[in-house]
Amino acid sequence: MFSFFVSFLSCAVLTLLVIKLAKKHGMALDSDIDGVQKFHTHVVARIGGVPICLAVIVASAISVIREPAMAPWLAALIACGVVAFSGGIVEDYTGKVAPSRRLLLTMLAALLAYWLLHARIDRIDLPWGPMPLQAVWIVLPLTVLAVAGIANAVNIIDGFNGLASMVSICMLMSLAYVAFQVEDMFVLVAALIVAGATAGFLIWNYPVGLIFLGDGGAYFIGFLLGELTLLLVIRNPDVSTWYAALLLIYPAFETIFSAYRRMFVRGKSPAMPDGIHLHSLIFRRVVRWTVGRREARALMKRNARTSPYLWLFSLMAVIPATVFWKNTVMLMFFCLLFIISYLWLYARIVRFKSPRWLFFHKRD
């Protein structure tokens, strides 16, 4: 856990420094409070990815001193992550980087990892045994799209204070646990480093939102999460590929469902933002009834109270993935169960028939 605490403390201190510098110099401030996906009432710096990236580098350097054999692996992983981070952080500062260009950069990062880390989807586990994937024309695009998709998915669920960061921490701790079980030291240390940095950011982001993760932070964490999951599976045949599918299913299915809804239900581009993600609906149609209308104070409370709903929902996938990490049949079952639960819950909330158990807060 040394790596976790070094990363946590580094990021906590660096995040506080970034908050003060951003306010003093007016850097990368999110002043748009009227957008369709905006749920805050004050100007906030949206460059939380900067201290997270720096903390990961610092903690990795210290870990390399303790375990020199990990140096090439950690260096390659961070280098690829910085490529994915670059498009997002430029967008955070300028607001002028198109989603397609950010996606291309994450795909480029995945391509580099394919080459430097040999991170590739080389099999699909089935109940009767593994199905090898050998053709480059299948493995390469499948790997690049999967990793880039996860990076983009974490950015999509980054809608409320603490949502994307806490969900990512839970997934990373699951990766660390499974890596410990199969004695994969690199994935174990890297997962704890990223989890620690994200936790150091979280204490300033939740509940009051002193700083936002931003596109740079979301792409960086999402890319590292996707790569570490892929590396754990391909380096350790005992870990089912369905472990990766179930672990990442909440952000992944949210992205797939959002693209389907925008393209085929609303007839719009999948890149166009909208305000009817599951987390947005919970904010508008569930949490709004638990907090009275007191302007900015009420909006801040509603923002903070939205995330725990999604934390618990994501654990419906993370916990069984962690428990049944090598049981393909059980992992496939829980994947199906999660998808059914997501669609049922989404349909109920859209039709203003939210289950009563969602209203667990008293109205203020």
- Give the DSSP H or E segment for 142: helix 136-156
pLDDT number for residue 4: 93
pLDDT number for residue 40: 45
Among candidate residues 301, 312, 295, 302, the one with its CA nearest the CA of residue 280: 302
Q: Strands, E, within the chain: which ranges?
A: 29-30, 44-45, 123-126, 129-132
Q: Convert the pLDDT of each residue in 343-358 to its tens digit.
A: 998 888 877 666 655 6
CA distances from 168 to 211, 322, 352 (A): 17, 14, 29
pLDDT number for residue 207: 83
Contacts of 29 (CB under 8 A, 6+ apart): 22, 43, 44, 45, 46
Q: What is the pLDDT along the chain (364 residues), one digit of tens a residue?
A: 788 999 999 999 999 999 988 877 676 555 454 444 444 456 788 889 999 999 999 999 999 998 899 999 999 999 999 999 999 999 988 888 888 899 999 999 999 999 999 999 999 999 999 999 989 999 999 999 999 999 999 998 887 888 999 999 999 999 999 999 999 999 999 999 999 999 999 999 998 888 999 999 999 999 999 999 999 999 999 999 999 999 999 999 998 988 887 776 666 666 666 667 777 778 776 666 555 554 555 666 777 788 888 899 999 999 999 999 999 999 999 999 999 999 998 888 877 666 655 655 544 4
Torsion angles phi and psi, residue 363, rounded to 5:
-70, 130
pLDDT number for residue 253: 93
Distance between CA 295 and CA 292 in Å, rounded?
A: 9
pLDDT number for residue 302: 73
Distance between CA 245 and CA 222 in Å, rounded?
A: 14
pTM over 0.85: yes
Q: Convert the pLDDT of each residue in 131-167 to its tens digit.
A: 999 899 999 999 999 999 999 999 988 878 889 999 9
Assess whether the previous peptide bond of 207 is cis (omega < 30° from 0): yes
